[in-house]
Structure 1
Amino acid sequence: MSTTRRQVLARTGAVGAGIAFTGALSELFAGSAAAQGKAGYGPLVPDPAGLLDLPKGFRYKVLSREGGDLPSGEGKVPSNFDGMDAFRGKHGGVHLVRNHENRHNGRTPVPTVKGLTYDPMGKGGCTALSLDRHNNVLSERVAIAGTAVNCAGGPTPWGTWLTCEETEDKAGTNGYTKDHGFIFEVDPVDPHRTGAVPLTAMGRFQHEAIAVDPRRGVVYETEDAFLKPFGLFYRFLPKKPEGGRGSLRAGGKLQAMRVPGVPDLSAIQETGACFEGIEWVDVPDPLAAQTPIRNQDFGPKGITHAQKLEGCYWGGKSVYFVSSFAHSAEGSAGDHFGQIWRYDPSERRLTLVIVFGPSTDIQLPGESPDNICLAPSGGLMVAEDGDGAQHVYGLTRRGEVYTMARGRQNIGTPEKPEWGEFAGVSFSPDHDTMYVNCYNPGTTFAVTGPWHRT
């Protein structure tokens, strides 16, 4: 990003102003925002090991580090830990599926494995960890390989992971032998049951995340495009809405969201802004054979774009999606440091429910929300992906924001410290453990403690 919240604050001197957070999720929250420190689990305690600061009473276990040996013997643990989710295992155990956002020049690629490799020149993919009920690692192995820039994705109601490629590179670009920009299904228990098959009908674009409507089987998809033309918000209507492993291979219809009279969501700045009669327009060419989807002709009414669409999840009866930021200097209609939108398919209604920044302390969370999930308390946990200090932060039912974790692994220098973003925040099925990744250096944490105290 060319201009960040922290750079703006440095120029204006607006430091220590407290969290600027407005809006409330009507289904999950009630009330208005409050200042930092009045919610959550208390102040963060510095970690003597220099890895992860947590509130008193919480502890972490490192499950995996990039560059180590995979216990499966398939090679090294790949780099660039990104999206992830937790699935129920046997006897209270958990299966984790973790993305690796490796590009063609990634540091440590996902090892190629027979039957699990899409394009041998692709360096991205997923790894799968199996844990016992005490978060001891029982196995760690490749789940899919030969894909590219696996950013986020999302779980399905039938217990698989959809991993998303955030690229539009075609065969012959950057050494790839196949087209990229697809979604792939990954079975967390036995990846060979899903293999490495692109779900082409779900579109070829810069995918970020997905969420599945468990009642209708509709899959919602975000597109992470931070330069114009900005990304779109999509829905996929599967031919087999009843779902099941492999059901998405049967195909379906891809559509993009049109908000009447709103060509760019960043123009909307008032929380609670509500739009009725949301339209869904068929995508002319889902495979983007000649033209990226966001550049295609959607008719005289056009289509609705948004900069940096990222996190996506299903909650209650609605789908929620995140715009991490918008900068007018880069072509957006307005400026913000993060929005969360809610779309209610029953009412065909879109609502802006949260806006972040910019007047906030540079050492506190509140810039560029990314991966997002429901917390045990009923609020949200959000992974921060900005500049400066990096946090996992929570949002309570009352609309209060608080710090849950802070990364301490300095990837810069003592004079100019930098910290890797957080990603893949998710909870065990029993809600007793939060799993989260540090992107760089790739580290997967299991965080336990008094989650139900708040």
Structure 2
Amino acid sequence: MGINRRAFLARTSQTGLGVALTGSLQGLLSAPTAAAQPSAGFTGYGPLVDDPDGRLALPEGFSYRIVNEAGKTSLYSGDPCPGVHDGAAAFSAPDGNVLIVLNHEVRGGPDDGGAVPHRRGYTWRDDAGGGCTVVKTTPDGELIWQTAVLAGTSTNCAGGITPWGTWLTCEENERDGHGYVFEVDPVDLRANRNPQPIRAPGRYRHEALSVDPDDLTIYLTEDASDPSGTVYRWTPPAGFRGTSGALNALDDEAGELAAMACTDGSGNLVDDLDQASEIVTVYSVRWVPVDDRDAQQRSLRTTEGITRAHKLEGAWWSDDGAYVVSSYSDSHRGQIWHYDPRAATLTLTTVFTEADGETVEAPDNIVAAPFGGLIVATDGDDDNHLAGVTAAGYAYPIARSQMGSEFTGPTFSPDGTVLSAGIQQPGILFAITGPWQRAGDQQSAGGPQGFITGEPDLPRDRDRARGFSEAAPHGEATARRRSASERSCPLPATTPSGEPVVVAWSPR
């Protein structure tokens, strides 16, 4: 089911390289034969200028700061910063600074390069090297301190934020008893002691997730093959209230876990999302309950009658639904889909192509920008990018990696002025600043998820997020405030090893 591509182009104002926008839907439009036409309003920041230091190519007027680097900056414990950076999210610190939760996608053991050091009380298993760190920065991205908060997990790829202000990190590994979701509290670091897997959303090759802020349903992607992975929906049990630690308190079989099954306009099962090529292809969705969610007998994705896709990657809640990324579709060019839970439909919004002379393909992590539109990190075979998409329908490059490794974990600071993103190998976290568009300069396509970029009906920082009452229904805050000692992070506001913060390059 879908509309003819030529008819769709005729109905939009954008027929060049970039984005197709229809209603609240937006995406990079695959139109290789269409003639480029001028775009009204904001069209990006201009061409990228190569970095003489060989790190990030940026538009003129932008600059980057190296926040941390594997093996070179130090944790508060004195251990070297771990590497293999991946998914990340930024949160407001109670003192006005910024807390970034950072995944480390280490597949091997604790002695592997880039492994997260095993802190006593913060380690799940002794044989795994993945995990998370919390990085505290100033509002402009200068490192204050960093510390390990979760170790002994495996292949921590992406994850997602919660409406109650925590980070859910995902293991993209289902071998040897791995394959779970873990919760990380960025503010109350002591809440991360004695980490345990959240078993209710199932055990499989987790990639990313997004949470519906209204009913706290979680949508999760699976990056897998033989067979390919799918999208899962975990529906919380009646009475579930979102607070830090509440997911761990649930029984292993709490709620319902189900896998996505799409049907086309003729009622036929869509076995692979890759078969769609037309923008605004729309499928009906039903959810197939999954048994044996701990996958003791077989992989959950072997469930009959479901829809799969090769390399399902990032997820983000926006436009009253869940965006999910299918990275390997169309020979790794990639797609973005939007699931509307009210209509029970899945719509193809994005097929990737060029943007302002840069080849943008193989989408991975995705995030909504505070000024509207989307930001996408790519993981392709050639150049990798951070690319933006305006709500007016135009794609534009923000950065190109000159380091031969993928971009990971794009996340904006709570005030929307700093875009943090990682380069996975060897593991560098950058803070990118520049003349960002102001909120309202482009029409928002539904607004970014949660309080991270200040959506008005959700808490902007954890001081307020901690006001959620266990007795309150989903998403309703009380006026209760925590004491200053509980709200503060129990670490000094100094960099333990004293390394200088590097402001590496600003094209002029």
Place the TM-score, normalised by the shorter chain, in its bin: 0.7 to 0.9
TM-score of the pair, normalised by structure 2: 0.75
Query: How far has the Cα of 1:30 moved from its partner?
Result: 9.4
Partner of 1:88: 92
Among candidates 436, 449, 452, match of residue 421 of structure 2: 436
| Aligned residues of 2:150 and 2:192 also touching (Cα < 8 A) | no
Determine helix, strand or coil for the equivalent of 2:107.
coil
Pairing 1:161–2:167 present: yes
Query: How far has the Cα of 1:223 moved from its partner?
Result: 0.1
Partners of 1:342 and 1:136 in 2: CA distance:
35
Query: How far has the Cα of 1:326 moved from its partner?
Result: 2.7
Partner of 2:23: 26
CA shift in 2, pair 1:229/1:31, >3 Å = closer
Partner of 1:135: 141
Query: How far has the Cα of 1:45 moved from its partner?
Result: 2.1
Among candidates 330, 334, 343, match of residue 338 of structure 1: 334
Pairing 1:287–2:294 present: yes
Partners of 2:46 and 2:72 in 1: CA distance:
34
Among candidates 267, 270, 280, match of residue 278 of structure 2: 270
CA shift in 2, pair 1:337/1:19, >3 Å = farther
Among candidates 407, 415, 421, match of residue 406 of structure 2: 421
Moved more, 278-287 or 237-246: 237-246
| Aligned residues of 2:66 and 2:431 also touching (Cα < 8 A) | yes
Pairing 1:383–2:377 present: yes
Among candidates 48, 63, 70, match of residue 66 of structure 1: 70
Partner of 2:352: 356
C-alpha distance after superposition, 1:361-417 (max 9, x if no partner): 9972321000000113311110010012211111111222111001122xxxxxxxx
- Give the partner amino acid of 1:243: G
Partners of 1:201 and 1:339 in 2: CA distance:
29
Partners of 1:205 and 1:355 in 2: CA distance:
27
- Give the partner amino acid of 2:203: R
Partners of 1:372 and 1:314 in 2: CA distance:
10
Pairing 1:366–2:357 present: no
Among candidates 228, 231, 256, match of residue 229 of structure 2: 231
Residues 1-400 of structure 1: matches in 2 within 5 Å?
A: 23-24=20-21, 26-27=23-24, 29=26, 35=36, 39-104=43-108, 106-170=112-176, 179-195=177-193, 196-225=195-224, 227-239=225-237, 240-249=239-248, 250=250, 251-260=254-263, 261-276=269-284, 278-296=285-303, 298=304, 302-326=305-329, 335=331, 337-357=333-353, 360=354, 364-400=358-394
C-alpha distance after superposition, 1:336-384 (max 9, x if no partner): 6111111111111111111124xx5997232100000011331111001
Partners of 2:234 and 2:431 in 1: CA distance:
33
Across the aligned residues of Structure 1 and Structure 2, the Cα RMSD in angstroms comes to 2.3
- Give the partner amino acid of 2:297: Q
CA shift in 2, pair 1:375/1:422, >3 Å = same
| Aligned residues of 1:84 and 1:426 also touching (Cα < 8 A) | yes
Partners of 1:259 and 1:308 in 2: CA distance:
17
Question: Structure 2: 5+ residue runs without aligned partners?
Answer: 1-14, 264-268, 442-508
For these two proteins, the number of residue pairs brought into alignment is 405
Query: How far has the Cα of 1:136 moved from its partner?
Result: 2.2
- Give the partner amino acid of 2:291: P
| Aligned residues of 1:362 and 1:389 also touching (Cα < 8 A) | no
- Give the partner amino acid of 1:26: G
Query: How far has the Cα of 1:228 moved from its partner?
Result: 2.6
Partners of 1:22 and 1:310 in 2: CA distance:
20
Among candidates 424, 430, 435, match of residue 450 of structure 1: 435
Moved more, 137-146 or 68-77: 68-77
Question: Structure 1: 5+ residue runs without aligned partners?
Answer: 1-17, 171-178, 328-334, 410-418
CA shift in 2, pair 1:167/1:20, >3 Å = farther
Partners of 1:19 and 1:65 in 2: CA distance:
39
Determine helix, strand or coil for the equivalent of 1:266.
helix
Determine helix, strand or coil for the equivalent of 1:215.
coil
| Aligned residues of 2:364 and 2:377 also touching (Cα < 8 A) | yes
TM-score of the pair, normalised by structure 1: 0.84
Partners of 2:432 and 2:332 in 1: CA distance:
31
- Give the partner amino acid of 1:286: R
Determine helix, strand or coil for the equivalent of 1:248.
coil
